[in-house]
């Protein structure tokens, strides 16, 4: 079993972020997981068995202002995992993306980086998520021990899900985003389907 849990948070408005910081973030949160996956797959394929759990974040789905690059690194991991799931399922290897909400870990403390120089115009959006304005550290609703138990239950399941959301907050946020996306999809249906060849002849 492989659990890709290495990663850290990074907060900055998209314009504020330093290029070196962005690359380091992706090297850890995305390319680090890719390296581990490639390292274990030969053995898993030989055994026709194995489980890969890639720890993402509800941030990949809700994309908060000030967390664009972190959300993008996790969204990239989820996109990779979706394809990997389809490639490995016929070989007896399971792939699950885990999307946690806020858990009482050091994520919002020592493990959180941010851009060096804030831009004043983003004070009311990305600026509210900067470490000096953050009030979440130590008050997160999720229990890390229970999260570990849930992840083990997924890994040991004979039919694990391709996606597992962890935490009341993550569950509610996921549901809200899904509903909002469905509503917008329906609102713009006519424009969406008007783009096909011969669509004006319907």
Point out the catalytic residue in the list 10, 69, 70, 122: 70
DSSP notation for 39-92: HHHHHHHHHT-EEEEEE--THHHH--TTBHHHHHHHHHHHHHHHHHHHHHGGGT
Q: How far apart are CA 56 and CA 24, in angstroms?
A: 17
Is 10 part of the annotated catalytic residue set?
no
CA distances from 64 to 6, 104, 125, 130 (A): 21, 19, 9, 12
Q: Which residue has the tokens 């759990």?
A: 53
Q: How far apart are CA 102 and CA 109, in angstroms?
A: 12
Residues classed as catalytic:
70
């Amino acid at each position: 079993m492989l659990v890709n849990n290495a990663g850290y948070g990074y907060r900055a408005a998209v314009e504020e972020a330093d290029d070196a910081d962005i690359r380091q973030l992706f090297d850890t949160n995305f390319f680090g997981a890719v390296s581990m996956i490639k390292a274990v797959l030969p053995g898993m394929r030989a055994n026709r068995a194995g489980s890969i759990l890639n720890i993402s974040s509800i941030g990949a789905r809700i994309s908060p202002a000030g967390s664009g690059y972190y959300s993008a690194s996790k969204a990239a991991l989820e996109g990779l995992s979706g394809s990997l799931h389809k490639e490995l399922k016929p070989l007896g290897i399971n792939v699950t993306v885990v999307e946690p909400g806020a858990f009482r870990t050091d994520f919002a403390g020592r493990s959180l980086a941010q851009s060096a120089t804030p831009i004043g115009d983003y004070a009311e959006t990305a600026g509210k998520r900067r470490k000096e304005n953050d009030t979440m550290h130590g008050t997160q609703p999720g229990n890390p021990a229970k999260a570990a138990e849930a992840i083990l239950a997924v890994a040991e399941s004979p039919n694990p899900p391709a996606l597992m959301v962890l935490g009341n907050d993550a569950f509610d946020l996921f549901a809200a985003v899904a509903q909002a996306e469905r509503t917008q999809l329906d609102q713009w249906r006519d424009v969406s389907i008007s783009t096909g060849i011969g669509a004006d002849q319907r």
